[in-house]
């Protein structure tokens, strides 16, 4: 639920915010923008993209079009990002103060290889890993893979998300076949972690250095795509404190301004390893729209527009978010299924308004806010939601 605007909120000269990207993450900023009295301007490829409908203005252009972003900068007071598919070099021609987070802060996070190097420099826990460049020969690659150990995870350094560009490999032959199929693009090889849970935490930092963290959540993946988020995660207080500490260390080290999502592995012995980082709002924080005093989307706007950061406290005992992923290729908005989902007690349905479904595409999500007694039947509640959406 969005917080009401305070006199302090109104003192910022930033009133018009540009967002590169017009998908559902920008679309879900609408309530926060309204609460804060901000106008959104989006740069996005298609007039049918979700955020166009809620923006005060839009610039229809690819997200990596630096010339279009220069035009966007003339229409707003500050620019932020909905995704990582940007042309960093082209944006560098604009004044540094144009962007929050700064280009310098996000530069090491756009590539999974430089992400890992950044974590190592800061002292965050990495799995055992190695890097293969496009010029790495197969003999050297084999030595590096053996040093990482089998099985291992191969990740393309650029443009991977929702499981795309990520491969769990069992043998050297698997690695060669996969890497050749990818065209020998730069990749990271990471030790496969026999984790107990996959966790995530959202963190926000203001330009003044104020940092707030949201509760650590559990994310549950199917086919390497997040299906469910449970907040808070059932973990020890020590693990929750460690996750918050890692998030705080990272945003402070980068002098980062805005919201960031950090994915973690909980390994045996209550040991946390960083998986990946998203320098933006993130799917694992969607539950905050209904279950926290300040949503991640309003928090992003607060951080980049010099408003005070809001409370991250949960407003219910437990929340679960279920992604509504496409399961077929179709032009369909599934009104009957959405109506049945909305009839579930405590359910809030978000439909992103995308024109076409395809397998694995994020079409919407459902959040349930629960008290302690209801949370006792969490598996049953999750099953009741998924049974109304996913083909059995």
Flag whether pLDDT at 321 surpasses 70. yes
Average pLDDT, integer, range 369-373:
90
Q: Mind listing the pLDDT tens digit for each residue in 277-307?
A: 999 999 999 999 999 999 999 999 999 999 9
Core vs surface per residue 382-391: b (16+ CB within 10 A) or e: beebbebbee
Hey, what are 251's tokens?
A: 């945003």
> How do strand 187-191 and strand 152-156 relate by DSSP bridges?
antiparallel
Mean pLDDT across 209-226: 95
What is the percentage of the chain residues whose pLDDT exceeds 90? 88
- Please determine, for residue 7, whether its predicted confidence score (pLDDT) is greater than 60: no
| pLDDT surpassing 90 at residue 220 | yes
Q: Clarify whether residues 245 and 361 are in a common domain.
A: yes
Residue 115 falls inside a structural domain: no
Percent of the chain with pLDDT over 70: 96
Examine the domain organization and report whether 156 and 219 are in the same domain: no
- Quick one: pLDDT at residue 165? 85
Are residues 148 and 162 located together in one domain of the fold?
Answer: yes
Inside any domain, residue 392:
no
What CATH number did the domain enclosing 260 receive?
Answer: 3.30.470.20
163 plus 216 within the same structural domain: no
Strand 318-325 to strand 197-205: parallel, antiparallel, or no bridges (unpaired)?
unpaired
Residue 93 above 50 pLDDT?
A: yes
d(CA 214, CA 311): 9
Q: Which 8-state DSSP code applies to residue 125? A: P
Alpha carbons 279 and 264: distance in angstroms, whole number: 15
Paired strand residues for 310: none
Q: Residue 155 corresponds to which tokens in the numbers above?
A: 């990740």
- Give the pLDDT confidence of 237-259 residue by residue, as tens digits: 999 999 999 999 999 999 999 99
DSSP secondary-structure letter at 204?
E
> Residue 238: is it exposed, middle or buried by C-beta count within 10 angstroms (0-12/13-18/19+)?
exposed
What per-residue confidence (pLDDT) applies to 234?
Answer: 96
101 pLDDT above the threshold of 70: yes
pLDDT exceeds 50 at position 8: no
Residue at 57 is within a domain: yes
Tell me, yes or no, whether 18 lies in a domain: yes
Q: How far apart are CA 74 and CA 69, in angstroms?
A: 9
* Final residue belonging to a domain, choices 51, 77, 109: 109
What is the domain count for the chain?
Answer: 3
286-299 b/e (C-beta count within 10 Å ≥ 16 → b): bbbbbbbebbbbbb
Same domain, residue pair 281 and 330: yes
The residue out of 191, 212, 240 marking a domain boundary is 191
Report if residue 120 sits inside a domain. Answer: no
162 has a pLDDT exceeding 70: no
Q: What is the mean pLDDT of the chain?
A: 93
**323 and 209 in one domain?**
yes
For residue 163, the model assigns a pLDDT of 60
163/109 Cα distance (integer angstroms): 17
Please state, in angstroms and as integers, the Cα–Cα distance from residue 128 to each residue in 148, 167, 179, 255, 279, following that order: 6, 16, 19, 27, 23
DSSP single-letter state for residue 241: H
Do 167 and 105 belong together in one domain? Answer: no
Residues 98 and 165 in one domain: no
Inter-residue contact 17 to 300 (CB < 8 Å) = no
The model's confidence at residue 380, banded by pLDDT at 50, 70 and 90, is very high
Backbone phi and psi for residue 147, each to the nearest 5 degrees, phi listed first: -70, -35
Contact 82, 26 (CB under 8 A): yes
Dist CA 258 CA 338 (whole Å): 32
pLDDT value for 118: 95
Residues 261 and 298 in one domain: yes
Structure tokens at 390: 């996913």
- Given a cut of 90, whether residue 2 has pLDDT beyond it is no
Q: Same domain for 215 and 275?
A: yes
Helix, strand, coil fractions of the chain, as percent rounded to 5: 35, 25, 40
Task: Give me 140's structure tokens.
Answer: 């050297």
Count Cβ neighbours within 10 Å for each residue of 143-167 and write b for 16 or more, e otherwise.
Answer: ebbeebeeebbbbbbeebebeebbb
pLDDT at residue number 5: 42
Query: What b/e sequence results for 39-69 when a residue is b if at least 16 CB atoms lie within 10 Å of its CB, and e otherwise?
Result: bbbbbbbeeebbbbebbeebbebbbbbbebb
For residue 375, tell me if it sits in a domain.
yes
Which domain does 357 fall in, by range? 197-387
Verify that 307 and 368 share a domain, yes or no. yes
CATH of the domain at 135: 3.30.1490.20
Does the residue 121 lie in any domain? Answer: no
Per-residue confidence at 3, pLDDT binned at 50, 70, 90?
A: very low
Q: How confident is the model at residue 4 (pLDDT cuts 50, 70, 90)?
A: very low
The answer as to whether 122 is a domain residue is no
* pLDDT at residue 102 tops 70: yes
Residue pLDDT, tens place only, 329-364: 999 999 999 999 999 988 999 999 998 999 999 999
Q: What average pLDDT score do residues 132-150 get?
A: 95
Q: How many CB atoms lie within 10 A of CB 362?
A: 19
| Residues with Cβ within 8 Å of residue 258, at least 6 apart in sequence | 80, 100, 101, 204, 205, 279, 280, 300, 303, 304
Q: Which stretch of DSSP H or E encloses residue 294? A: none
Residues 39-90 pLDDT 10s: 999 999 999 999 999 999 999 999 999 999 999 999 999 999 999 889 999 9
Q: Which of 175, 191, 207 is the last residue of a domain?
A: 191
- Examine the domain organization and report whether 313 and 330 are in the same domain: yes
pLDDT band at residue 176 under the 50/70/90 scheme: very high
If DSSP codes are grouped into helix, strand and coil, which group holds residue 370?
A: strand
Q: Would you tell me how many other CB atoms lie within 10 Å of the CB of residue 224?
A: 14
Q: With left for phi above 0 and alpha for psi between -120 and 50, is residue 315 left, alpha or beta?
A: alpha
Residue carrying the six token digits 């839009």: 58
């Amino acid at each position: 639920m969005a917080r009401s605007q305070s006199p302090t909120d109104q003192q910022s000269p930033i009133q018009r915010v540009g967002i590169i990207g017009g998908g559902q993450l920008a679309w879900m900023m609408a309530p926060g923008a309204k609460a804060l009295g901000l106008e959104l301007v989006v740069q996005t490829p298609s007039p049918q993209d979700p955020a166009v409908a809620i923006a005060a203005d839009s610039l229809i252009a690819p997200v990596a079009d630096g010339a279009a972003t220069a035009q966007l900068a003339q229409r707003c007071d500050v620019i932020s990002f909905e995704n990582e598919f940007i042309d960093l070099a082209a944006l560098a021609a604009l004044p540094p103060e144009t962007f929050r987070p700064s280009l310098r802060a996000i530069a090491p996070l756009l590539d999974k290889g430089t992400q890992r190097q950044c974590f190592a420099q800061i002292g965050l826990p990495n799995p055992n890993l190695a890097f293969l460049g496009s010029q790495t020969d197969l003999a050297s690659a084999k030595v590096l893979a053996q040093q990482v150990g089998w099985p291992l995870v191969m990740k393309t350094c650029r443009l991977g998300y929702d499981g795309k560009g990520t491969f769990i490999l069992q043998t050297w032959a698997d690695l060669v076949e996969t890497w050749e199929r990818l065209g020998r693009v730069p990749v990271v090889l990471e030790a496969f972690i026999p984790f107990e849970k996959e966790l995530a935490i959202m963190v926000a930092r203001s330009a003044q250095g104020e940092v707030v963290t949201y509760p650590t959540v559990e994310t549950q993946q199917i086919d390497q795509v997040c299906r469910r988020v449970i907040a808070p995660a059932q973990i020890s207080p020590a693990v929750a404190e460690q996750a918050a500490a890692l998030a705080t260390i990272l945003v402070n080290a980068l002098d980062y301004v805005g919201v960031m999502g950090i994915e973690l592995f909980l390994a045996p012995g209550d040991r946390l390893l960083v998986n990946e980082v998203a320098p933006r709002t993130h799917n694992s924080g969607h539950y905050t729209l209904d279950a926290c005093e300040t949503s991640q989307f309003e928090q992003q706007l607060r951080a980049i527009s010099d408003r005070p950061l809001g409370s991250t406290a949960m407003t219910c005992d437990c929340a679960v978010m279920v992604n509504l992923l496409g399961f077929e290729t179709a032009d369909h908005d599934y009104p009957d299924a959405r109506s049945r989902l909305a009839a579930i007690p405590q359910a809030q349905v978000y439909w992103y308004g995308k024109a076409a479904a395809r397998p694995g595409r994020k079409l919407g999500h459902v959040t349930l806010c629960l008290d302690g007694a209801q949370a006792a039947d969490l598996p049953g509640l999750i099953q009741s939601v998924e049974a109304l959406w996913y083909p059995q």
